[in-house]
Amino acid sequence: MRRYVDLVAATAVIVLLTVATADAQKPQSKTHLGGKASNLIALIGTAGTDGSINDTQLIDANGGNAGDFVIPNKSVLVVTDVHVIPTGTPGLRSGRLRNPGGGGLRTRWEFDSATHGAQYINLGSGSVFRQAPQVQGFAASAGTASVYIYGYLTRDK
């Protein structure tokens, strides 16, 4: 009887994990703050090692680069998450997400990619940008990083 109960419990866990995994692949219908999913934005930028400031590019629905991103008039971009994925040689990655529309430093990262494969930064209720965010890697970095920026567009108040 004990084996049967264990088998049923194990099967239930597998079914729940399968359902949860399948559900995770479905597109969101709303943002974490209730914004329309049609306004979700994904951007990518490169953090270098020379202190240069780089523009971000829009990521299309298929994961490809869709070109420059411009925030529409009377709108703002609310950035909710930043994922920093190191490329190249393992070592220190240091940089920031820059707000060219004012407000200076928004999000800064520093981690050793030899011990941490990436850094995921959740900005809680979000950080507001009136112009497309830019990415800056600091000269102390051992290598470059791809910086994925997620958020949504909403009307400016």
**What does pTM read for this prediction?**
0.73
Identify residue 65 by its one-letter amino acid code.
N
pLDDT digits (tens, 9 = 90+) for 112-155: 988 988 999 998 888 889 999 999 998 777 889 999 999 999 88
Identify residue 66 by its one-letter amino acid code.
A
List the domain boundaries for the chain: 28-155
CATH of 28-155, one of 2.60.120, 1.10.490, 3.40.5, 2.60.40: 2.60.120
Residues 6 or more apart whose CB falls under 8 angstroms from that of 87 comprise 143, 144, 145, 146
pLDDT digits (tens, 9 = 90+) for 74-119: 999 999 999 999 988 888 889 999 988 776 556 889 899 889 889 9
Q: Is the pLDDT of residue 12 over 70?
A: no
